Each structure stands twice: as structure tokens, then as C-alpha cells.
Amino acid sequence: MRISYAQRLEDYHLEGVFAEQERGFYIDIGGGHPVADNVSFHFYLRGWRGLVVEPQQALARAYATVRPRDLVIDHPVGDRDGEVLFHRVERLHGFSSIVEEKARGAKAFGADYRSEKRPIRRLSSIIDERKIGAIDFLKIDVEGAEGIVLAGLDLDRHRPRVMCIEAVEPGSMADASAAWEPGLLARGYRMAFTDDLNRFYVADEEAALAERFPPAPASWDVVKHLYEYGKAGENEEHPDRELTMRLVAGLLASLPELSPAFLRGLLEKSAGTEGLERGPELRKLLRGKADFPRKGLQAVPEEPLPLDDAARAALGRIAAAYDGGMIF
């Protein structure tokens, strides 16, 4: 294992348990981003597949491209089949939760949230519906709703071999396991390992797997972490640096051919969490800073982006350095 994609080496520790198993099935509740801070991505790369539950729909959609073998559910799971208010935190997606108090905690970090009515299903209902068989590991990270998720799992019929459950209060490291751990222990699971963020449980019938966990968390630098590479376009050591630069060059060379809708999508997405221009403010950005001799230029109103002559000129100037226009 060369790169850990998880927040706290969860994938590294699980790799030690399942190192000899070429294929397997995971359930990842609260999958988040399909790559970054993701516990199951390493196993997907090994050829495994699984069920991912990610109620934040923009994140859920990304799995279709990055991890097409996975089954993806884009609504919460819990202790019933019905509807629930899901509290989606803007910018800090890791705080989103069906527990409003936990989402509200993101305000301390400068992020607000929006509440929206969403379907909710019991995890066992989905397992039955999707005809899922053996479950090698179940990971749950749902910002304070771990007990609610476990209440919807019928452990008489659906028994993950290993469970990895976040066991601290969101935004702190206070232990939160007392609310749900006794129920697991009573249903034939034993705690095998903790990394001080998560607790790992092994089914009694799989007791040999418990011996594969280390006695203490591995050293942080035992492998590289994805975040250490930073942005591929800025770090020559990034494993995808060459591909990134080729894609950037190809995109910039193609700018004059792109549709206004596609360009607007690129610019809106590039704003990210940095507070960059959005919506109408993009008009000024699109003009660039070069001289434009004609006065009183009006944008074409029916276009989703103001691709007037000034904007097209800006795109042409950018592309000229990448599309072969600048010979010298």
C-alpha cells in the first residue's frame, strides 16, 4: 500500500485484515468524496466493490464516473423507511447530518447549512432490495447518527465481518460510543481495535480477524497520505502530475470551442470554497484585462454566459499559447 486515502489510516489498518483477500464487498455509509478522506477507495482500487450511501447528491454523482462498480444510494439510511430532514452543510460537507444539532456545529467553522426533506431507508431494507450477500466490512461515519443507522441493520440476518464506526462527537474528540456500542456487544460483536477516531468491531464468528489488527495505531508516516501531495497542478511529485498538465493544456487549447453553458460550469466549479466570482460577477472576469477598442459592447442576453466579443477574445488569447497558435 503506497497511498492512504482515508482520514486516519482506516484503509491501512483494514488492509492488514484483508490483505490476502483479492475480492470483497464493503458498505460505506457516509461515503463523502469518492477519493479524498475515503475509507473504501483503496479497496475499490484493489478490485473490490460495494454499496456506498452518500446523501449529498453532488458527491454521490461523482461515484458514477470515478467508481462505476459501486452501488450508490443518494439519500440517508436510518432506523425506518420514510422521510427525514437532511441538514446539508455548505462547503464543509463532512458536517452534513440528519441530526440538526451536529450540522449546526459547523457554524463554529464559518459554514451554514440547509435543511431538505429526503427519503430515508433502513440499511437492511436496502441490503434485501439489492440482494447483497456477504459483507466484508461496514464503515459508518454519519456525524452523530451512527446509532440511528445501526438501528436499521438487522444483525440476525446481515452480519458484516468487520465494522469501522466513527466513535467521537463531531467537531471534538469526545467519546460517543456509549450510545450504541452496548447493542453491538450484545449482538455478537467485539471491539478489536481503535484509532482514537473510529472503533473497529469483529463478529464473534470471525474472531480470527481480530488478531490481524495491530495492538496500536500505525505510525502516521507509515505510508504517504493523499493530502500530502496537494494539488496535482502545483506539485511535481503528485502521482497524476503528468496527466493533469496534459488535461490542462488540452482544455485551454479547446477554449474557443466550448459551449457557454460548459464554460459557465467550469467557472462556477472553480470558485469552489475560495469565494471566487459567481453568477453575474463572471461577466467582468470573462472580459480579461486586455484593451478592447469597441465601446458600449452588450452581452448576448439569451446565452447562459456573456460570450460577447470581449469574452471570446479573452478565450482566444488564452488558447493561443496551447493550441499551436503561438509558434514562437
Residue 326 lies in a domain: no
Long-range CB contacts for residues 19-25, cutoff 8 Å, separation at least 24: 21/136, 22/46, 22/47, 23/47, 23/48, 24/48, 24/136, 24/137, 25/49, 25/50, 25/51, 25/132, 25/133, 25/134, 25/135, 25/136
**Which of residues 184, 201, 227 is at a domain's end?**
227
Check pLDDT > 80 for residue 309: no
Confidence of residue 109 (pLDDT cuts 50, 70, 90): confident
Q: Which pTM value belongs to this model?
A: 0.85
> In this structure, are 165 and 305 located in the same domain?
no
How many domains are there within the chain? 2
**Which of residues 201, 227, 253 is at a domain's end?**
227
> In this structure, are 214 and 259 located in the same domain?
no
Q: How far apart are CA 293 and CA 289, in angstroms?
A: 12
Residues comprising the chain, all counted? 328
Residue 142 lies in a domain: yes
Check pLDDT > 80 for residue 295: no
Checking DSSP bridges between strand 198-203 and strand 113-122, what pairing results, if any?
Answer: unpaired
Cell numbers at residue 314, please? 479573452
CA nearest to 166, candidates 39, 322, 296, 298: 39
Confidence of residue 302 (pLDDT cuts 50, 70, 90): very low
Residue 328 lies in a domain: no
Range of the domain at 266: 241-320
Q: Environment class of residue 320 by beta-carbon count within 10 Å: exposed (0-12), middle (13-18) or buried (19+)? A: middle
> In this structure, are 150 and 221 located in the same domain?
yes
> In this structure, are 126 and 251 located in the same domain?
no
Check pLDDT > 80 for residue 154: yes
Q: How far apart are CA 246 and CA 235, in angstroms?
A: 14
Tens digit of pLDDT for each residue in 12-44?
999 999 999 999 999 999 999 999 999 999 999
Check pLDDT > 90 for residue 223: yes
The mean pLDDT value for 101-120 works out to 90
> In this structure, are 223 and 246 located in the same domain?
no
Cell numbers at residue 249, please? 493544456
> In this structure, are 121 and 90 located in the same domain?
yes
Query: Which residues, in sequence order, are CB contacts of 328 under 8 Å at separation 6+?
Result: none
Q: How far apart are CA 200 and CA 213, in angstroms?
A: 9
Cell numbers at residue 295, please? 465601446
The mean pLDDT value for 110-126 works out to 95
**Residues of the chain above pLDDT 90, percent:** 62
The mean pLDDT value for 147-167 works out to 98
pLDDT of residue 171: 78
Q: How far apart are CA 103 and CA 97, in angstroms?
A: 6
Phi and psi, residue 321, nearest 5°: -80, -5
b/e map of 252-266 (b: 16 or more CB within 10 Å)? ebebeebebeebbee
Looking up residue 210, the CATH number of its domain turns out to be 3.40.50
Confidence of residue 301 (pLDDT cuts 50, 70, 90): very low
Check pLDDT > 70 for residue 172: yes
Please report which residue ranges of 99-139 form alpha helices under DSSP H: 100-104, 123-129
Phi and psi, residue 299, nearest 5°: -70, 155
In degrees, rounded to 5, the angle at the alpha carbon of residue 232 between the alpha carbons of residues 228 and 237 is 60
> In this structure, are 102 and 160 located in the same domain?
yes
Q: What is the mean pLDDT of the chain?
A: 88
CA nearest to 286, candidates 264, 270, 269, 271: 264
**Which of residues 204, 227, 250 is at a domain's end?**
227
Q: How far apart are CA 181 and CA 178, in angstroms?
A: 6
